[in-house]
Amino acid sequence: MNCIVTAGPTFEPLDDVRRLTNFSTGRLGTELANFLAARGHRVTLLVGELATYPGERRVQAVKTFSTTKDLHAKLKSFSGQKVDAIFHAAAVSDFSFGKMFVRTAADKLRPFSPSQKISTRGGRLLVELVPTPKIIAELRGWFPKTKIVGWKFEADGERADAVRAAARQLADCATDFCVANGPAYGKGFNLVSADGKKHIATAEKLFAALEGLALP
């Protein structure tokens, strides 16, 4: 099986020295990639530059990504190739920076354009956060015959809320499976598909289940 695994966070730059990102370590995606490679599959791991997981990457190919736009471009570059499965575990930033303003002495907002490094001497800076496009929503168009597995990491709510969010991702993005986890779900994972929902207790059991479901 030829597959792609994404792992770790994207980031969005505010200026040349500051950026917006999240706390994803890249561990789960990296360990999944290692599991698949150990089982004899060809694996390309796309991992965020800011991933902090120090574990070895024992796959055939590793490529790093930076921003959401960069990850988008790298995934799209595989669209002309035969890919059996994509495991999209990367934590893509939900927001990028939009318009910026500074508050003047007269308590008015003045449009502001960032420089190489925004000075804190200029006063209070107000920044618009704009939702980033959802990469997973485009995967089916690029890979019409590929098994696609998404992730839904939910921090707020209850276990049922996390599972419902995973089911919505299936419907909205035409993916084959979605893994629900995070503080809202609690311990373990839920593997959601059009055929139903299944609780899986450990990462190792999840990896084995994903391999079996994604095999051509």
Task: Tell me what the mean pLDDT of segment 27-54 comes to.
Answer: 97
Choose the weakest-confidence range: 57-61, 102-106, 149-153: 102-106
**Contacts by 14-23, CB closer than 8 A, 24 or more apart:** 14/97, 14/114, 14/118, 14/127, 15/114, 15/115, 15/116, 15/117, 15/118, 16/116, 16/117, 17/116, 17/117, 18/117, 18/118, 20/93, 20/95, 20/96, 20/97, 21/50, 21/93, 22/91, 22/93
In angstroms, the CA 165 to CA 187 distance is 17
In angstroms, the CA 139 to CA 85 distance is 11
User: Are the beta carbons of 106 and 32 closer than 8 angstroms?
Assistant: no
Task: Name the residue ranges covered by the structural domains of the chain.
Answer: 2-94+133-214, 96-129
Q: How confident is the model at residue 122 (pLDDT cuts 50, 70, 90)?
A: low
Q: How confident is the model at residue 170 (pLDDT cuts 50, 70, 90)?
A: very high
More confident site: 177 or 118? 177
Task: Tell me what the mean pLDDT of segment 65-76 comes to.
Answer: 98
Strand partners, 62: 45
Average confidence score pLDDT of the chain: 93
Residue in the structure block whose two tokens are 């593997």:
191
Residue in the structure block whose two tokens are 């990028």:
96
Q: Which residues contact 76 (CB under 8 A, 6 or more apart)?
A: 138, 142
pTM: 0.93
Strand partners, 45: 5, 62
Task: Tell me what the mean pLDDT of segment 12-36 comes to.
Answer: 94
The CATH number of the structural domain formed by 2-94+133-214 is 3.40.50.10300
What does the block give as tokens for 57? Answer: 């990457």
Q: Does residue 23 carry a pLDDT above 80? A: yes
Task: Tell me what the mean pLDDT of segment 114-143 comes to.
Answer: 86
Would you state the pLDDT for residue 156? 92
Q: Does residue 21 carry a pLDDT above 80? A: yes
**pLDDT over 90, % of the chain:** 81
Q: Which amino acid is at 80?
A: G
Q: How confident is the model at residue 25 (pLDDT cuts 50, 70, 90)?
A: very high
Would you state the pLDDT for residue 112? 79
Q: To which H or E segment does residue 68 belong?
A: helix 68-76
